[in-house]
A and B are shown apart, each in its own frame.
Chain A
Amino acid sequence: MKPRFALRSSMPWWRGPALIAAAAIVTFLLSAIVIRWAGGDPISAFRYMFISPLQTKFGFTESILSATPLVFTGAAVAIAFRAGYWNIGAEGQLLAGTIGATWIGIHAESLPAIIGVPLILLAGMICGALWALVPALLRTRLGIDEVVTTLLLNPIALLIISGLLNGPWRNSETGFPDSDVISKSTQLPIIWPGTRVHLGLAIGVVIIALCWWYVGKMAGGLKLRAVGMSPGAARIAGLPVERTLLITALVSGGIAGLGGSSEVAGVAHQLTTGISSGFGYTGVIVATLAALSFIGSLCIALLFGVITVGSFSASRALQIPSTIGEFVQSVLLLTVVAALVIQKYRVVWTRGKK
């Protein structure tokens, strides 16, 4: 007997939501095993992870803060994937963005904020797009697979940051490998007084809205979707496939780079090697879980923000490793992707020849 996938011809309306609920339950069960293994009580761990961050203003706003970079990387990955450009390099593009932002930030002391803030955002965006340019050219001109090239550029961006911080950008006061604090005039304003929530979140939400409008409602978006779903058919219809891919790749890199600016100018106010805790990679998970929808990416990013903050408090309270949060996110990815496959296909057992 051999298993084989067959497309479902029809399905009842409740199957989609039911499968997602099942995925969530399986995630809880699998995570519970690991939490128990680590010596914690699963029920209270889940309460810390998913409920307690929403019960205090601090927990809530910190969750939003953690979600902010994921809003950018989620959108960056989603728009690229919608065009069939498999950009796994949002991490490197975000890091490139932090380099550009920091360069502006530590050299722009005398600027007014009305110029400094747009400048630092623009710098991140441009650097992110530039970091995406080479793989995009290799793909559209020579057909070289972008999954490999975008992925391999990620550690290179991190190494450049490390080189800069151990060399020219070493902190002039402490001598640690962190950059100087960026100029006040380039720091993003706080938009929720009394918290750390900054302008980056608002920009991220605007980016989500723009992407949603562009891809869903505009002529260019229809072209982008056609190219992503069937490049051959798009070419036959006379659409500029290569140009669409190139532009989308640059836009995707630009959005990720903007996320880098947002982190440097909004939260850290300096460049460190730990500026990104894998935001680009998590962005792939965010976009995938959202089935490449932009509004969905925003929601998943916020959920992940809650899990990140919650896993730290669970870790403190229950003495379990804080990486449990990442574990939950990863298992959620697997179960949801499995649910999406089961939603679309059914498994048929065929008698195979031996």
Chain B
Amino acid sequence: MNSHEGVGATHGGTAPSIFLRGISKAFGETIALSDVSLDLRAGEVHALLGENGAGKTTLMKILYGLTQPDTGLIEADGVQLTINSPRDARAAGIGMVTQHFSLVKNMTVVENIALASASTFSLDLGVVRKEIKAASERFGLEVSPDAVISTLPVALQQRVEILKALMSGCSYLILDEPTAVLGPQDIDSLLDVIKRLRSESGIGVVLISHKMAEIEQVADRVSVLRRGKVVSSSSVSGISTQELIGLMMGTDEVAVAQRRTSKQLVGNPILALNGVGVNIEMGGLSEVSLDVHPGEIVGIAGVSGNGQAELVRVLSGTLAIDKGSIVVEGNTLGKNSPQSLMRAGVGMLGEDRHASAVHALQVMENLVLDCIDSFATRFQLKQKEILQHCESAIAQFEIKTTPKQALGTLSGGNMQKVLLARLFSRKPKVAIISQPTRGLDVMATRYVRSLIMKASTEGTAVLLVSEDLDEVLEIADRVAVMYRGAVIGIVDGSTATRETIGQLMAGITK
């Protein structure tokens, strides 16, 4: 069904430009892209810039055939391309390296590349090996063909992915946040590779990134996406960093009425992180120091993948720390296990409410899951007390449910209320709250935020990790911005703006 010959099966000559026209895509009620148009040219690095959820990845997944658009079309030289699968995309000369690599970890480089390119009936690894050698030399992507993928560091695995895409004959290469997983030196060498692909092989590169410095270094043009729309498309030399950040973050003001006023910090911090470090491949934390006072909400902002998830895992006790210490109420925790944190009075609302709730158990059972023993005698659960506890939580937190309903049958908002009720009814000294309103409707969102604020006025110290910058600006007293596993800056919530936070998120400190 796909009969056109690739846009440019050879790297010689100039491949035609690719036009995306009027692309729209909705997931359920969420509009990911609305009427987006973009043009890509051979021998040009085109950066796609935008906040989390702006639609960058969705747009590129459409170009690569991983998702189909609701409306819109893709053209090359006036000919419409039908791209229903990555296979169609590759046939049209489009390759993509996704954030999560698609390599078979216990196979060698040769085997992985052969998997992607081999014809059906014959397989000669010797030939593939020769081709890899030739291609590595030509593109400056050195890699040892017989290394097993799992033994290679991430940077080299990424190199194999790029090589795999190039060897399938693509003339356009999409890189989805390629530097997010790399260290500084690897980033430099990747940027060199990108430059070389552009100027020596005439390949058009689409670079999805959040990082201004990289974009200025390698991109020729930059398009900014915000809330599913292209808000700007221009040459990099013609636009300043300030302008780009402004375009990316938008200037819409946060509802000022709800903003909290600057608060005097009273007493000693309840939770203090002193130089906490975690060494793991891809990310990790370096020297995170942070404190949260009683009654204070500290918001954590940042582009996703800069250590926020690891910070939450450290504070829930599921990721061991290698350096530094966690201090709760002046007591240093020996080991950050879930039990030791819970005993110290640290409560937790995980980012994925479905993973935090036992769907098949009743609402009342879920509500006591973290303190079952206090609701049981030696031989029997105190059903009556569990029921009473549940009924008062239902009333207090306005949960629409009956106690004996299975939790999985509740709506997202009500499920979140159950989990918040479980968290706050223990009266934790510190509450770690991660992505509390993700996927909730407006009313539920507002209610959940008011619950968090209420808990903080009652004296709970809250650490709020959220990808929703408006949420952080709305309820946090202080905003800490994370960048590459470290806290790059802490801003007072009453004076913070999208611009100041946005600069920090992009790694720019004044």
Interface residues of A (CB under 8 A from B): 217-219, 222-223, 225-226, 229-230, 232-240, 353
Indicate whether B47 reaches chain A with its CB closer than 8 angstroms: no
Residue contacts A-B, CB under 8 angstroms, 29 given: A217-B379, A219-B372, A219-B373, A219-B375, A219-B381, A222-B361, A222-B368, A222-B381, A226-B365, A226-B369, A229-B359, A229-B360, A229-B361, A230-B360, A232-B355, A233-B357, A233-B358, A234-B358, A234-B369, A235-B338, A236-B316, A236-B338, A236-B355, A237-B356, A237-B369, A238-B339, A238-B342, A238-B370, A239-B369
Residues of A within 8 A of B178 (CB): none
Q: Are B379's CB and A226's CB within 8 A?
A: no
Kindly list 14 other residue pairs between chains A and B, CB separation below 8 angstroms, not including A226-B358, A233-B355, A233-B358. A218-B381, A219-B376, A222-B376, A225-B361, A230-B358, A233-B357, A234-B369, A236-B316, A236-B348, A236-B355, A236-B356, A237-B356, A239-B369, A240-B339
Indicate whether B350 reaches chain A with its CB closer than 8 angstroms: yes
Q: How far is the CA of A232 from the CA of B358 in the complex (A)?
A: 9
Closest to B376 in A: A219
Indicate whether B318 reaches chain A with its CB closer than 8 angstroms: yes
Closest to A217 in B: B380
A-B CB contacts (within 8 Å), total count: 65
B374 → chain A closest CB, angstroms: 9
| CB-contacts of B82-136 with A (<8 A) | 84
B306 → chain A closest CB, angstroms: 23
Residues of B within 8 A of A218 (CB): 376, 379-381
Interface residues of B (CB under 8 A from A): 84, 316, 318, 338-339, 342, 348, 350, 355-361, 365, 368-370, 372-373, 375-376, 379-381, 422
Interface on chain A toward B: helix, strand, loop, or mixed SS? helix
A351 → chain B closest CB, angstroms: 14
Residues of A within 8 A of B339 (CB): 238, 240
Q: How far is the CA of A239 from the CA of B369 in the complex (A)?
A: 8
Q: Are B380's CB and A236's CB within 8 A?
A: no
Q: Are B358's CB and A229's CB within 8 A?
A: yes
Q: Are B360's CB and A237's CB within 8 A?
A: no
Residues of A within 8 A of B338 (CB): 235-236, 238
Centre residue among A218, A225, A230 by max chain B CB count within 10 A: A230
Closest to B368 in A: A222
B89 → chain A closest CB, angstroms: 15
Q: How far is the CA of A85 from the CA of B375 in the complex (A)?
A: 26
Centre residue among A236, A239, A353 by max chain B CB count within 10 A: A236
Q: How far is the CA of A229 from the CA of B365 in the complex (A)?
A: 13
3 closest Cβ pairs, A-B complex: A219-B376, A237-B369, A237-B370
B35 → chain A closest CB, angstroms: 25
> Contacts A222-B381, A234-B369, A238-B338: A353 and B84 contacting too (C-beta < 8 A)?
yes
